[in-house]
Chains A and B, each alone.
Chain A
Amino acid sequence: MNQVIPLEFARYVLLHPDKDPQWREHAKQLIEWVKTTPKWPKYIVHGATVTTEQGNGIEFCCYLPNQCCDSHTSRLAAVEALYFMKTGDEAYKEAAFRSYNWVTYFQGLSAKAATPFGPQWWFTDEFADGPRRMMDAFYAVPEWAPADETHLRGSSSIATHVSYGKDSVTYSTFDPEATDVLRLDFVPESVMADGRALAARKDLNAPGFIFDASTKVLRVRHQGAKSVSVQGSGEQAPSLYVTFDDPHLAAGTQLERRYPSGIIDWEPGAWQISVPHGKFGTFNLSLVDPKAETAGFVSTRRGSSSGSMHTTEVRRRLV
């Protein structure tokens, strides 16, 4: 017996309650069964329930909880978060939050995860099921998403297009009738559906939108229209990134001057492109001289008032 089928069924009826009049009871019972069945072990750490994949009461797959199975724990958390979204039961939100926190230690190329560098190649844990079910979190509880970024967090339909600009977001859905969830980094001044203005409402029993100023969560219901445009004001300029993968340079290439073109002027002889290594799964930046005690770079931006930028964040690793 496994937990994938019951939890995926619960997720489906939570997202499509019209398919099951007893969606609430069924989802709750399936969550409870997964968390209590003796068919495979569970592990509770700081209130986070960690579950492995399957078992028969004697043997189980695949490792002891807390050694693997972030995708399965992420699925459990997702269903709990969606249950909260549909019912408002705060206990499920709290349970989801704690399990998701555990999952974050195993995502990407984490040392604890069953990555390609581990004994098994469970890409799904870190790169498919795991992060997909984490995305459910930001749809179910959008205030968990970063407050300083604008994103379409989810829709009752399928998003076919999304485009972000300063103080604006436009998107399309496959179905002409849908309810969508966004977290904004700006205050909306207009919400249009196929060019027609939607009205602010207190509920979404009819087409319109609800904006929570405290969380900047926007919920939009549109009918007979696939394209939605949100315009507002107050957003910071979006963050930009230098990934050291694009444009691609050969490993060992010293950054003598501008890279990427027009963005950063690197101190000659100080920096080089390095191969993916350890927890960094993509090309990255390192010092040419490992004993260097100082190194720098300069913004080459032209046309702005000061030719300057905010360096907001750097991920680094010392090996």
Chain B
Amino acid sequence: MTVHSPNVREVSFTIKPGELKRIRTGWRDASSKVVLDLKNGAGLRFDNLAYRFE
């Protein structure tokens, strides 16, 4: 999975089947749009999206 957004560095993660993983974008610059590019994303679930307003 690659998370990208205009004007900030994209970050990529590999998650194994069945794995629970906390991922951090590490982004410090604010951005309004987030896009996730996925490969083999069937069964993918997300919880507790954390963010900070500028």
Contact = CB atoms under 8 A, between A and B. Distances in A.
Most buried by B among A241, A243, A274, A318: A318
Nearest to B6: A308
Interface string B5-49: 100000001011111111111111111111111111111111111
Contacts of A286: 43-46
Given A312-B25, A319-B18, A243 B41 contact: no
Contacts of A54: none
A295 interface: yes
Contact of B44 (A242, A287, A307): A287
A44 interface: no
A307 B32 contact: yes
B42 to A, nearest CB: 4
Interface stretch (A28-36, A89-97, A296-304): A296-304
B38 A315 contact: no
Nearest to A271: B46
Given A239-B50, A243-B48, A313-B24, A291 B1 contact: no
Contact of A312 (B1, B21, B32, B50): B50
A237 B52 contact: yes
Given A293-B38, A294-B37, A241 B50 contact: yes
Contact of B49 (A291, A294, A305, A314): A314
Contacts of B13: 316
A309 B52 contact: yes
A238 to B, nearest CB: 7
A316 B1 contact: yes
Interface in A252-296: 264, 274, 277-280, 282, 284-287, 290-296
Contacts of A306: 30, 32, 54
Contacts of B30: 306, 308-310
B42 A313 contact: no
Contact of A319 (B29, B45, B46): B45
Interface string A55-76: 0000000000000000000000
Given A301-B53, A304-B53, A314 B23 contact: yes
B23 A313 contact: yes
A315 B37 contact: no
A308 B32 contact: yes
A144 to B, nearest CB: 17
A211 interface: no
B48 A292 contact: no
A317 B45 contact: yes
Nearest to B13: A316
A309 B47 contact: no
A9 interface: no
Interface of A: 111, 236-244, 264, 274, 277-280, 282, 284-287, 290-299, 301, 304-319
13 contacts: A244-B47, A285-B46, A287-B44, A297-B33, A298-B33, A308-B30, A311-B5, A313-B23, A314-B3, A314-B25, A316-B13, A316-B44, A318-B15
* Nearest 9 A/B pairs, CB to CB: A290-B42, A308-B32, A308-B30, A296-B35, A313-B50, A319-B43, A284-B47, A285-B46, A242-B49
Given A316-B13, A318-B43, 13 more contacts: A238-B52, A240-B53, A284-B45, A284-B46, A297-B33, A307-B32, A308-B30, A310-B54, A311-B27, A312-B24, A312-B25, A313-B50, A314-B23
